[in-house]
A and B are shown apart, each in its own frame.
Chain A
Amino acid sequence: MNLRGLYTLFEKEVLRFLKVVVQTLLTPVATALLYLVIFGEVLAEHLEMYPGVGYGAFLVPGLVAMTLIQNAFANSSSSLIQSKMTGNLIFLLVAPISPLEFYLAFVAAAVVRGLMVGAGVWLVALAFVDLPLHSPALVLAFAVLGAAVLGGLGVIAGVWADKFEQLAAFQNFVVLPLSFLSGVFYSVHALPSPWDRLSWLNPFFYMIDGFRYGFLGVSDAPPLLSLGVSLAFLAAVSVVCLRMLAMGYKIRQ
């Protein structure tokens, strides 16, 4: 195992997003706060998703999770597509770095960016909303899981896409709908049939619902079920991603 190679690639991916911190960290935090102000403030007095839990407290974990996973996806996918488009991916491909090391480095960097953005949204949201913290361990577990899954999906999308337009399509037609329809802004119990049942087929729902349980101690799905589904989803994404990298799909001729 080329551990130094793995760490260097991870370090490079982290340095890359830290060089454009306004775009990669501050902008998503600001966007999430806009959601909080618009939805949280407007709907706070009219909605109560769980007994005794205000809408603001319900919304913030969902917003943190959504921002976290979307940024994890953006990190790995945008880095890969840029490297492919500019041609500098060649420097990585000629190095003695295995598909597993490649995958772990990209996913770990995506997790770091996801956690930093998520922490930023959470910390700023604390100024507006009184948010409990039921289980820090579960919050962290679901945060890392969610970011890892989306980091892996980002690798898949970045490897698959030949141009920015295809990557944008993946983001807009897969990641965005699945994250918006995962109970970020509402409890799936509040949805009419069949949307409530369809939501249970959305793996993003379990990542966000389990994350919310870590804060509130209540959720739509049992937390163990969410943990199991999220782990299974991570395993599936990892298998696909590693298979693509091992085949050299679209990156080695």
Chain B
Amino acid sequence: MAEAIRVEGLHKRYATVHALRGVDLAVARGEFFGLLGPNGAGKTTLIGILAGLVRPTAGRAAVMGHDVRRRWRQARRALGLVPQELVYDPFFTVREILWLQSGYFGLGRANRAWIEELLEVLNLTAKADANLHDLSGGMKRRVLIAQALVHRPPVVVLDEPTAGVDVELRQALWHFTRRLHAEGHTIVLTTHYLEEAEALCGRIAILHQGMLRALDTKAGLLARHPWRCLCLELDPPGAPLPEAVAALVSEREGGRVKLRLHRLNDQIGAVLDALRTAGLRIRDLRTEEPGLEEVFLELVHEAPAGEAAAAEREAG
């Protein structure tokens, strides 16, 4: 596949923390790629290496085929980074900041039409001559996106863009990133919100303790999760359950029982038969399929104890 991003054997050690421990992954051009992981998983370090903000201890990373260390100018021109923090230069207006950012990338006045278009698309035109100091958090977030896009990078990396934003802005950002993707940009999104990754991303990588725990499509990740839930309302409410069914109970409150069934080993029909045989009446029934959250939690919690202990030791 033509690759937008390739990362091979990437390690990053800080003074006391081994933040990345041999990460390998590739993102195809035109993909909408999700990077998930709990705090401290190494997500920001990984995108920092791609953007040239962090230097890897070992391994290599490339953006659109350009090694981020040897061909750093080309790699940086190919990448637009929307940082997580709402950082800005308080001396300048929105339009000035975009002009300056465009100039840093070697683009002159010819790029100003694109800057005006960005202001329009991101609903910033009315605030173009305002100082960033005077903008709301949502407006500042839009300016960060405009800054990342000012040099028309083929790859756009958004580091938790919806962290702490209200529902309306989150929807607007989702809409805008979908539009960028539809226009051909490769999008890499790091997020804490699993529903965001589910809604937007084609493939998802899960990082934990600096290691890649999984990399697959959403459907592929969900298929890895062998459990589903069967929710029942039984009558009489407090009646004892057959032994085989009682072993499957994950929650029980009165007549409401939630069973955790293995896809291959536990048949719904057999469970229902056992309940009927025991004289229980089934008043209501529904199944719950797992979401990314369950997959995520399972992957994160299955880290070998030795690795987790080592990580904690190194984290001090």
Q: Which residue of B lies closest to A17 (CB)?
A: B91
Contacts of B54 in A (CB 8 A): 252-253
User: Does B114 reach chain A (CB closer than 8 Å)?
Assistant: no
A27 in contact (CB, < 8 A): no
Beyond A86-B90, A94-B51, A94-B52, whether A5 also contacts B105 by CB under 8 A is yes
Inside 8 A of A252's CB, which chain B residues have their CB?
52-55
* Residue B106 is within 8 A (CB to CB) of chain A in the complex: yes
Binary interface profile of B, 73-101, with partner A (CB < 8 Å = 1, else 0)? Answer: 11011010101010111111000100011
**Judging by beta carbons under 8 Å apart, are B48 and A8 in contact?**
no
B interface bracket (residues with beta carbon within 8 Å of A): 20 to 34
Contacts of A3 in B (CB 8 A): 106
A7, B103: Cβ atoms closer than 8 Å: yes
A214→B108 CA distance, assembly (Å): 40
Bound together, the chains give a CA A73 to CA B226 distance in angstroms of 64
Among B77, B83, B85, B106, the residue within 8 A (CB) of A4 is: B106
The CA of A248 and the CA of B76, in the complex, are separated in Å by 16
Residues of chain B lying within 8 A (CB to CB) of residue A16: 91
A9 and B88 contact, CB distance less than 8 A: no
- Asked if A2 CB lies within 8 Å of chain B CBs, one says yes
Q: Does A187 contact B (CB under 8 A)?
A: no
Chain B residues contacting A92 (CB-CB under 8 Å) are 104
Docked-complex contact B55 and A95, CB < 8 angstroms: no
Query: Considering only CB atoms, which chain A residue lies closest to B97 in the complex?
Result: A91
B residues 42-90 in Cβ contact with A at 8 Å: 45, 48, 51-55, 72-74, 76-77, 79, 81, 83, 85, 87-90
Given A8-B100, A86-B90, A90-B87, are A96 and B14 also a contact pair (CB < 8 Å)? no
CB-nearest residue of chain A relative to B157? A94
Question: When the two chains form their complex, are residues B87 and A2 in contact, meaning their CB atoms are under 8 A apart?
Answer: no
Closest to B76 in A: A96
A95 touches B83 (CB 8 A): no
Partner of A95, one of B45, B87, B105: B105
The distance in angstroms between the C-alpha atoms of A9 and B89, with both chains bound, is 13
Contacts of B73 in A (CB 8 A): 2, 96, 98
Q: Which residues of B are in contact with A by a Cβ distance under 8 Å?
A: 14, 45, 48, 51-55, 72-74, 76-77, 79, 81, 83, 85, 87-92, 96, 100-101, 103-108, 147
Known A19-B91, A91-B101; 18 more pairs at CB < 8 Å: A3-B106, A5-B104, A8-B103, A9-B103, A15-B91, A86-B88, A87-B83, A88-B89, A90-B53, A90-B83, A90-B87, A91-B147, A93-B52, A94-B53, A94-B76, A95-B104, A96-B104, A96-B106
Q: List 28 A-B contacts (CB under 8 A).
A: A2-B73, A2-B106, A5-B105, A11-B103, A12-B103, A15-B96, A16-B91, A19-B91, A86-B87, A86-B90, A88-B87, A90-B81, A90-B83, A91-B89, A91-B147, A92-B104, A93-B51, A94-B51, A95-B105, A96-B76, A96-B77, A96-B104, A96-B106, A97-B104, A248-B55, A253-B48, A253-B54, A253-B55
